[in-house]
């Protein structure tokens, strides 16, 4: 064996030993499209990032969110990636980040994600052995309607509204406006809307193409331009399966990707034809604003929303818009 071959052998052995030393970790990742979907694509650099943290991270795609959550509960995976509707019960403080009306602008969103990297806030992102290690905003939730005449709170009355995965916020909104709630899941809601079985669908702009919601909008439908909330996807882990600094590292990683997130959301909203956007009048906007606050407070009283998380969101909203009428009465 030549000296060159010997040196190469030592290098290969060193690389093999380094790879072998990495801790294998698996994430049950919800992505509606699967292996080539938006979530899997967004986190495609996480494996390389994980090596720097001493981890060999495998992302396992699931097209059914509940199966991903159940496999995580069963210990099949060390972590999971879910909508905040399903991740909320694991870590209530983190799940409150998508409180209706909690975040209303991109500036507030940036402040919130920055706040989540504060070690003091990090202590609130654990619940028993569960830790929320990342919040990925996926854009504002709007009301998709199958008839443009459904553009005021009065018109919501009697209409069928999608309640995704028993979402308590959508359910309370439906009850407050006199609409009829229809239970859906991430595998059924698009078909229900596209087939006309649902009149009103709360959904992010990304859903327009991913779930082919243009079929349900057709020629008569539209999207009410009032932002209800910022939709969130969250990464939850078993805290004792990872190094102590993993959660902090992940939250800082998500923050560093915020420009990419903004571009993704902006592109999705721009892809929706302008003809579909329905401008909200002042009366409807004020009524919805009132309902949003009532829903937040009701869910806080019921123990669904975390009071400290609501207070943090209130402070951030009022720091960016101190003239807002709600700023005189803390949540």
- CATH number of the domain bearing residue 177: 3.40.190.10
CB neighbour list of residue 106: distance below 8 Å, 6 or more residues apart = 262
Instruction: State whether 49 and 65 are in the same domain.
Output: yes
318 domain residue, yes or no: no
Task: Catalogue the E-assigned strands of the chain.
Answer: 23-30, 55-62, 79-83, 126-127, 130-145, 160-164, 180-184, 200-204, 222-238, 277-278
> Is residue 164 domain-shared with residue 97, that is, in the same domain?
no
Specify whether 218 is located in the same domain as 289: yes
User: What three-state secondary structure class fits 191?
Assistant: helix
Asked if 156 and 36 sit in the same domain, the reply is no
Return the SS3 of 22. Answer: coil
CA nearest neighbour of 68 among 91, 56, 89, 86 = 86
70 lies in some domain: yes
Summarize pLDDT for 202-216 with one digit per residue, the tens: 999 999 999 999 999
Token code pair at residue 58: 């495998």
Say how many CA atoms lie within 13 Å of 269 toward its Cβ: 17
- Tell me: the pLDDT tens digits for 181-210? 999 998 899 999 999 999 999 999 999 999
Give the count of domains, the chain.
2
pLDDT at residue 55 tops 60:
yes
Lowest mean pLDDT among 14-23, 127-136, 229-238, 284-293: 14-23
Residue 329 has pLDDT above 80, yes or no: no
**299 belongs to a structural domain:** yes
Distance (Å, rounded) from C-alpha 279 to C-alpha 292?
Answer: 19
Does position 7 have pLDDT exceeding 60, yes or no? no
Q: Which of 143, 229, 227 is nearest to 179 (CA)?
A: 143
In a domain? residue 225? yes
Q: Which residue range is the domain that position 126 belongs to? A: 21-138+232-269
30 pLDDT tier (thresholds 50, 70, 90):
very high
- The answer to whether the CB of 68 falls within 8 A of the CB of 82 is yes
Give yes or no: residues 168 and 294 share one domain: yes
In a domain, 156, yes or no: yes
Q: Are residues 171 and 79 in the same domain?
A: no
- Is residue 34 located within the same domain as residue 122? yes
| Residue at 247 is within a domain | yes
Q: Are residues 43 and 165 in the same domain?
A: no
**Rounded-to-integer distance, Cα 214 and Cα 24, Å:** 41
Examine the pLDDT at 284 and tell me if it is beyond 70: yes
Residues 93 and 40 reside in one and the same domain: yes
If asked whether residues 164 and 102 sit together in one domain, one would say no
CB 225 within 8 A of CB 280: yes
Is 191 contained in some domain?
Answer: yes
Whether residue 102 has pLDDT greater than 60: yes
Give the model's pLDDT for residue 15: 43
Rg (CA), the chain: 22
Say yes or no: 134 and 183 in one domain.
no
Q: Does residue 16 belong to any structural domain of this protein?
A: no
**114 and 128 fall within a common domain:** yes
Closest CA relative to residue 145, chosen from 156, 136, 154: 156
Contact of 77 with 27, CB cutoff 8 Å = yes
Q: What is the CATH number of the domain that holds 52?
A: 3.40.190.170
How far is 200 from 174, CA to CA, in rounded Å? Answer: 10
Q: Is the pLDDT score of 241 beyond 90?
A: yes
Pairing relationship of beta strands 23-30 and 55-62 according to DSSP bridges: parallel
The rounded Cα 165 to chain-centroid distance in angstroms is 14
| Both structure tokens of 199 | 């009149």
Can you give the pTM of this predicted structure?
A: 0.86
CB 152 within 8 A of CB 283: yes
């Amino acid at each position: 064996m030549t000296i060159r071959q010997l040196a190469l052998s030592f290098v290969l052995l060193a690389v093999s030993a380094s790879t072998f030393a990495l801790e294998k970790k698996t994430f049950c990742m919800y992505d509606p499209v699967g292996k080539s979907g938006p979530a899997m694509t967004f986190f495609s650099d996480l494996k390389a990032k994980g090596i720097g943290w001493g981890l060999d991270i495998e992302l396992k795609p699931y097209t059914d969110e509940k199966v991903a959550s159940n496999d995580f509960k069963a210990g099949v995976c060390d972590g999971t990636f879910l909508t905040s509707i399903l991740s909320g019960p694991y870590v209530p403080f983190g799940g409150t980040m998508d409180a209706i009306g909690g975040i209303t602008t991109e500036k507030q969103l940036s402040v919130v994600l920055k706040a989540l990297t504060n070690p003091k806030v990090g202590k609130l992102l654990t619940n028993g052995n569960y830790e929320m290690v990342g919040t990925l905003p996926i854009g504002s939730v709007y009301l998709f309607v199958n008839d443009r005449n459904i553009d005021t709170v009065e018109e919501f009355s009697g209409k069928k509204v999608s309640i995704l995965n028993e979402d308590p916020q959508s359910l309370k909104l439906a009850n407050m406006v006199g609409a009829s709630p229809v239970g859906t899941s991430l595998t059924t809601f698009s078909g229900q809307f596209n087939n006309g079985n649902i009149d009103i669908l709360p959904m992010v702009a990304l859903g327009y193409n991913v779930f082919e919601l243009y079929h349900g909008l057709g020629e008569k439908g539209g999207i009410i331009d009032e932002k209800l909330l910022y939709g969130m996807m969250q990464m939850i882990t078993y805290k004792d399966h990872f190094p102590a600094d993993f959660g902090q590292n992940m939250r800082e990683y998500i923050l560093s990707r915020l420009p990419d997130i903004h571009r993704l959301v902006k592109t999705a909203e721009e892809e929706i034809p302008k003809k579909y956007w329905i401008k909200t009048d002042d009366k409807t906007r004020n009524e919805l604003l009132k309902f949003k606050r009532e829903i937040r407070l009701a869910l806080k009283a019921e123990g669904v929303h975390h009071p400290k998380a609501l207070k943090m969101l209130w402070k951030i909203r009022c720091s960016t818009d101190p003239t807002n009428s709600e700023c005189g009465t803390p949540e």
